[in-house]
Amino acid sequence: MPERALRLNGPSLEIVSRCDGKHTVAQIIADLQKLYSKAEPHKVESDILGYLALLQKERALDFSA
């Protein structure tokens, strides 16, 4: 991002590395539910949606249809 940087680790890195204009949000959720199979799938989904919304508000990413 212009004049800023994100410090990524663990799940945040897994999410952002999939924000490549090719993965859909559903694919990212499915990937991470597999990766973090011990976590509650609904919790994984809501955490991802929350994090993506935060990045959008910060203007670090956009959603396309």
Partner 1 sequence: MTASQANPLALVCELTHRCPLHCVYCSNPQELDRRASELSTEMWISVFRQGVELGVLQADLTGGEPLARTDIVELVRGARSAGLYVSLITSGLPLDEARLDALIAAGLDHFQLSFQGSNDQVAEEISGTKTHAQKLRVLDWLKSRRVAVTLNFVLHRRNLHQMDGMLAIAESSSATRIEFANVQYYGWAFLNRELLLPTRAQLDEFLGKVKVAEERLHGKIRVEYVVPDYYARFPKPCMGGWGQKVLLITPSGDALPCHAAGVIPGLQFENVKEKRLGEIWDSSEAFQRFRGESWMQDPCKSCDRRAQDFGGCRCQALLLAGDAAATDPVCSLSPRRHSVDAILSTVNSPPTSAWQYRANLS
> What residue ranges bind partner 1 (CB under 8 A)?
1-3, 5, 56-59
Q: Give the Cβ contact number of residue 32 at 10 Å.
A: 20
Q: How far is the CB of 18 from partner 1 (least distance, A)?
A: 18
Q: Which of 56, 52, 53, 32 is nearest to 43 (CA)?
A: 32
Q: How far is the CB of 57 from partner 1 (least distance, A)?
A: 5
d(CA 65, CA 63): 7
Of 40 and 58, the one with the shorter C-beta distance to partner 1 is: 58
Q: How far is the CB of 37 from partner 1 (least distance, A)?
A: 33
